[in-house]
Amino acid sequence: MPIRVGLVSLGCSKNLVDSERILSKLRTHGYQLVTEPGEAEIAIVNTCGFIQSAKEEAIETILELGALKQEGSLKKIILTGCLTERYREEAADLFTEADAVIGIADNRDIVDILDHVLAGERVIRFGKKEDIEMTGDRIISTLPFFAYLKIAEGCSNCCTYCAIPQIRGPYRSVPMEAILEEARWLAEHHVTELNVVAQDTTRYGDDLYGESRLPELLRKLCHIPGIRWVRVLYCYPERITEALLDVLVEEPNMVPYLDMPIQHCDDDILRRMNRPGSEKMLRDLIAHIRERVPEITLRTTLITGFPGETKEQFNRLGDFVQDMQFDHLGCFAYSEEEGTKAAEMEDQIDEEVRTHRADIIMEQQAEVNAAKNAAKVGSRLTAVIEGYDRYAGCYFGRTAADAPDIDGKIFIKSDNRLKLGQYITVEVFDTMDYDLLAEEVSDESAK
């Protein structure tokens, strides 16, 4: 009987790609993959260590697995990912229930590590983070018609609040031909939607080619047979170029969608965050993007309660959100991360104030989203089917304006038997919170 292995992937989509490569190695070497840790003999946790809430989730997961191990159903626990990479020795000492604690570069040797663990050894191994595997076979763990395509590793932006450069190392682009080869493989395995990710996608190619090659890469991805939607996430505003906007306008398979994390609008806060630009730059850029790409969907993320943020600066952020009318927005309370420059700043904001300010921004955005969704009533759109809700008696999916996992859904009435990953035309007839209600129509003119 093959040994049963379950993997818990925490954190972002970039981490998920790493998990999918681990799964492929395990299956290739004869391990049986299971989806429930309670069914596994070996559990692997690919941790996240980005902010406090992510660390707490990872610790809770590890403790739950430790309880399963004590009960005897689970035999071995392997820890990897950003949390173990960030807190190497501490993690090895703290998580005594773990049979292996390894760094992100050691995922490539996961089979060898399991061999040692199964032989009764406790493995503590941390290779050079710059040696992390950036290509390789994957097992798609998302819905089968879409996948994340990671085009770079690490980050060199060095925002003062962020620990990613410490955890993942400097920015390293994946060679373009390797990305295209992976994308063609995904298309051959029935993936029709590519979601392009990196810590900063707009920096792609700077280190390899001396200039950004993101627009060129996106154009080539759009022309891979079988690919219908290409979406780009994590675009830094100061690197959004005319060439990138040209791709959004000119390529039919390029979804008119930009995820542009700006974090704040106040000039002084941006400077303290080590973020380029200013409120005027952001306002001018957003107006220009909407002029160039009238159908654009704009998503952003913000941080409230950054050290020294005054009431006036917070109110300016609220006014900015109201004026900009983002289609999607996530707001997070500042997390004080040890080892970052921001954590050393003296004027830390009370945690309750940080959270309260984030709640206020999200309440504002809820009103913006409600109005934007109401304006879609009566429109015809293309939706991709993600499943069937037996309780509601309808299908559900996403439109081109919604990225997987982070944006809204569309619930669809249809008299037809629809398939997972099928693209259909729908007409919106109502809204529900952040979601849309629609029915299938036969019109092929949807966008």
Phi, psi torsion values for 107, nearest 5 degrees: -60, -30
The confidence score (pLDDT) of residue 49 equals: 80
Question: For residue 197, what is the enclosing H or E element?
Answer: strand 193-197
C-alpha span between 185 and 141 (Å, rounded): 15
| Residue 255 near residue 400 (C-beta atoms within 8 A) | yes
The confidence score (pLDDT) of residue 91 equals: 87
C-alpha span between 120 and 50 (Å, rounded): 32
pLDDT digits (tens, 9 = 90+) for 191-230: 999 999 999 999 999 999 999 999 999 999 999 999 999 9
Q: Determine the 3-state secondary structure of 188 from DSSP.
A: helix
pLDDT at 85 over 80: yes
CA-wise closest residue to 200 among 171, 234, 176, 232: 234
Mean pLDDT of 348-356: 96
Q: Which residue has the higher pLDDT, 397 or 89?
A: 397
The confidence score (pLDDT) of residue 446 equals: 46
Which range among 33-37, 140-144, 364-368, 423-427 shows the weakest confidence by mean pLDDT? 33-37
CA max distance for the chain: 65
Sign of CA dihedral 410, 411, 417, 420: positive
Please give the distance of CA 267 from its chain centroid, rounded to a whole number: 27
| Residue 217 near residue 211 (C-beta atoms within 8 A) | no
- What structural domains does the chain harbor? 4-128 (3.40.50.12160), 146-373 (3.80.30.20), 380-441 (2.40.50.140)
CA-wise closest residue to 202 among 162, 161, 155: 155
Mean pLDDT of 255-277: 96
CA-wise closest residue to 200 among 186, 218, 179, 214: 214
CA dist 174 to 83, 151, 194, Å? 23, 5, 16
Q: Which DSSP string corresponds to 24-63?
A: HHHHHTTPEEES-GGG-SEEEEEE--SSHHHHHHHHHHHH
Q: How many CB atoms lie within 10 A of CB 176?
A: 17
The confidence score (pLDDT) of residue 294 equals: 95
- Residue 329's Cβ-side half-sphere holds a number of Cα atoms within 13 Å equal to 30
The confidence score (pLDDT) of residue 433 equals: 82
The confidence score (pLDDT) of residue 26 equals: 96
Q: Tell me whether residue 363 is exposed, middle or buried, using C-beta atoms within 10 angstroms of its C-beta: 0 to 12, 13 to 18, 19 or more.
A: exposed
pLDDT digits (tens, 9 = 90+) for 357-408: 999 999 999 999 999 999 999 999 999 999 999 988 999 999 999 999 999 9
Which structure tokens are listed for 160? 């003062």
- Residue 57's Cβ-side half-sphere holds a number of Cα atoms within 13 Å equal to 16
The confidence score (pLDDT) of residue 444 equals: 53
The confidence score (pLDDT) of residue 443 equals: 59
For residue 305, name the pLDDT band (cuts at 50, 70, 90): very high
Share the mean pLDDT of the chain.
93
CA angle 55, 59, 61 (to 5 degrees): 115
Q: Which DSSP string corresponds to 345-410?
A: -S-PPPHHHHHHHHHHHHHHHHHHHHHHHHHTTT-EEEEEEEEEETTTTEEEEEETT--TTTS--E
Q: Determine the 3-state secondary structure of 81 from DSSP.
A: strand
Q: Tell me whether residue 42 is exposed, middle or buried, using C-beta atoms within 10 angstroms of its C-beta: 0 to 12, 13 to 18, 19 or more.
A: buried
Mean pLDDT of 129-140: 91
pLDDT at 447 over 60: no
DSSP state, residue 73: S
Q: How do beta strands 380-389 and 423-432 pair?
A: antiparallel
C-alpha span between 413 and 440 (Å, rounded): 6
Tokens 């029935």 correspond to 190
The confidence score (pLDDT) of residue 55 equals: 82
For the full predicted model, state whether its pTM sits above 0.95: no
The confidence score (pLDDT) of residue 248 equals: 97
The confidence score (pLDDT) of residue 70 equals: 87
